[in-house]
Structure 1
């Protein structure tokens, strides 16, 4: 997954990194790597921080818009890395991060949701993000159930009750999901 993610970032990095004079050419590869690490770290933090709904929704819907909390976190994370590692000012870092990270995350979500694209496997992604804690779970099955909407009890919010209703009689799956979150 990591190699494919870095390739995806590289493909999207054109004007944001590769053709950007704010990042010297000798640092392009490192900047691409930092962008990929920002995405991975933000997804891991979202899962461990209780934002599983955001991550599941992104992969279930096959899209990640720039205003989604996990996308905003990844964008901010990359912005900070650009400032600290490459000495960019906040305006430069913000412009680069906002032009690259939302598009990378949207492509990641689209590719993962596309059954004809095997470059990203949702099971591998979740296994890697959770440190292997989702290995016994059918993440694609979970996402398929979620595609109809996360608010399954139609109470106006997405919470543990919605997940429980998705796994009626499947407490072991729910227990694994809770265990994945810490």
Structure 2
């Protein structure tokens, strides 16, 4: 997932970083790399600190992906601090880069993850990258279970979304990947 995220950062980094006079040209690549790292580590931090519902809402597309979104705000704050600390950029320049790139990158990430015609991002890969395949994955799955019945994912009618629903859905559309895809609009 980090590769795909880096590609999105490169895609949106032109005007925010490369064409930004406040960032010396010799630092462009390092600033873009820091942006990718900060987004991934920021998402991991949100998951580890119990922000699973925020992330589930983000990937469901239930909340706007702009500077009013709590996930966007947290990632923007982290990237702003990292750019200032590591590259000596002013708060204004760092904040400008972060607040312009984070919503674009997350919007594209969510859009690609929800697009059934785009296989470059899979929700399950994103969840595994964010959770580090650890305990947070089950927390994210708990949030999906909590909200999943609202999206018709309770395949066996027992009032909860669990492995048996994934297996039932798997016969139709690919197991847990299909379950996650259905939840997130694929």
TM-score in same-fold range (> 0.5): yes
Q: In 1, Cα distance between the equivalents of 2:161 and 2:88?
A: 53
- Show structure 1 runs of 5+ residues with no match: 150-165, 174-182
TM-score w.r.t. length of structure 1: 0.74
* 8 Å CA contact 2:127, 2:140 repeated in 1: no
Aligned to 1:16: 16
Structure 1 residue 101: Cα displacement: 1.1
TM-score, with length taken from structure 2: 0.72
- The aligned residue for residue 183 of structure 2 is none
Task: Give the structure 1 partner of residue 70 of structure 2.
Answer: 69
Matches within 5 A, 1:19-30: 19-30=19-30
Q: Distance in 1 between matches of 2:57 and 2:137?
A: 20
Counterpart of 2:90 in structure 1 is 89
**Paired residues of 1:38 and 1:75 also in contact (CA < 8 A):** no
3-state SS of 1:119 partner: coil
Conserved? CA contact 1:111–1:120, under 8 Å: yes
2: CA distance between counterparts of 1:44 and 1:136?
Answer: 14
How many matched pairs? Answer: 154
What is the distance in 2 between the residues matched to 1:136 and 1:51?
A: 13
Structure with more of its chain in helix, by fraction: 2
Aligned residue in 2 for 1:44: 44
Alignment partners' CA distance in 1, 2:45 and 2:71:
9
Verify the 8 A CA contact 1:18 1:25 in the aligned structure 2. Answer: yes
Change (3 A) 1:19 1:146: farther
Q: CA RMSD, aligned part only?
A: 3.1
